[in-house]
Structure 1
């Protein structure tokens, strides 16, 4: 029997489902299952989704957040990499909320490999993202599905700080700039460890994002991101030195920065996404793949 209000999954239901499936959460897949109904409702409220919204959820696990999103009135398409979990999810919804089952679709796949989704284009991404692939999954979904207007993801607190960081801050880096290409981002709330099974070693946080137009530039996204990667590959270097590899030398890097109206003596951590776009435009075709920075 489900004792959690609203037909959501509580600790007993989570453990029962996992036991039935023989599932033990794995670090490899970054699995930590939310078992607190209050936290699920908090996430759904922060996401601001409801009737008429088409939500894509990545990594639904046992279905805690899925049930909350369906209960809010949204239609939901989930992407789950773990075959037993993907197969079980429709049965879980049918068991706990049979009245909502017709608004759920399941895609059994790695989110990094998904290029299309069934049904109407998704308007929102709402997910408890696996810690180990949170940034790549987020950026991939924003790139491939331009119908996404809003994002609400739960990630490791440190990652949340990076995604929402402003230029000049200690946590500003590659994820900050690349996320800013697609959207504005802010940290929405902190989530404690005890609402998960198993309990993770770190705190989590919610990041809310609103889609915006990318910077106006003749450079491609790939060219801009190549400049970003090069600038942060050795983040203590000035732009003159850091961009030398993709510009054809330090002098060429300096001249490109000057044409872009950016001081070549600055470090990448001081630049906005618009600054990086102007540098990429000034570099032109030479802004190809360069050194990869750590995300």
Structure 2
């Protein structure tokens, strides 16, 4: 890879565009070429992959992705940054710049139709801290062509996304990501590779999509159980699921039918067990994704 952006190039480009990172948009720009090389390598991309990058910012990771894949869809909410990215690619990526499509859009509102040509197969992104989990879950729901990915998020968020049952940080993000994919921690990233320097470490999360745990219940039905179970995580599932099931006794019946102790808590259940509860409910109610 050549033509990657270092600290001086990042600051010069930002000054030329009149751009300053904002907390509102969760902007922390990567200025270390070794870090973006590491991300691309760890993502396990092939030349046939179509990468989806959310929040490309000034283009550090974009420039590393372009030579490695068949195409890059870059989704940027900031108009100034979205407008400048094609020129940055043309200046630094050579012929590979033709592989870039920039979408000035909110990733939380992006649809499969927006990214249809060609459809993305890999999500590789330095995600804004404030929307990382909703973005990942929305994209996995909206884009069935996404087979795998690697995202950089706040370390605390990374820990939650990859946590398993019984962990203190296991919760809604852990279970919902597990519905779509097998996730693993893929390393830590120090603050000093960003501008501005955040006051937290970042973490890399790799995932590989798999089939849903069960075909006889919908994602919405399972997620409704998950949301209810963790809304009051100190309560037993019998109590926590009472509102969802139409009463504590009905919740206990559904749990028992699924082979789960009504006295257990949500943090002890796998995504497969949550799906079993949803399948056992006499009248499961749909919830938010």
What residue number does 2:177 align with? 179
* 1:170, distance to aligned residue in structure 2 (A): 1.1
* 1:118, distance to aligned residue in structure 2 (A): 4.2
Deviations, residues 210-246 of structure 1 (Å, cap 9, x unaligned) = 1001111422110100100000001110000000011
- Which residue, 6, 11, 17 being the options, matches 1:10? 6
Of 118-127 and 189-198, more deviation after overlay is shown by 118-127
Gaps of 5+ in 1: none
- Residue 19 (1) aligns with residue 12 (2): no
CA distance in 1, matches of 2:129, 2:259: 37
What residue number does 1:146 align with? 144
After superposition, residues 124-273 of structure 1 pair within 5 angstroms as 124-273=122-271
Which aligned segments of 4 or more residues in structure 1 are displaced greater than 3 angstroms?
A: none
CA distance in 2, matches of 1:182, 1:169: 20
Conserved? CA contact 2:254–2:282, under 8 Å: no
TM-score by length of 1: 0.95
Change in 2 beyond 3 A, CA 1:242/1:185: same
What residue number does 1:33 align with? 29
Deviations, residues 62-88 of structure 1 (Å, cap 9, x unaligned) = 000000001224410110000100000
What residue number does 1:97 align with? 93
What residue number does 2:120 align with? 122
What residue number does 2:77 align with? 81
User: What is the alpha-carbon root mean square deviation over aligned residues?
Assistant: 1.3
Q: Secondary structure at the match of 2:140?
A: helix
Of 129-138 and 66-75, more deviation after overlay is shown by 66-75
The aligned length equals: 287
* 1:14, distance to aligned residue in structure 2 (A): 0.5
Change in 2 beyond 3 A, CA 1:88/1:59: same
Of 65-74 and 18-27, more deviation after overlay is shown by 65-74
TM-score by length of 2: 0.97
Q: Secondary structure at the match of 2:188?
A: strand
* 1:286, distance to aligned residue in structure 2 (A): 3.1
What residue number does 1:57 align with? 53
What residue number does 2:280 align with? 282
Deviations, residues 77-126 of structure 1 (Å, cap 9, x unaligned) = 11000010000000001111232111000111000111131411111000
* 1:287, distance to aligned residue in structure 2 (A): 2.7
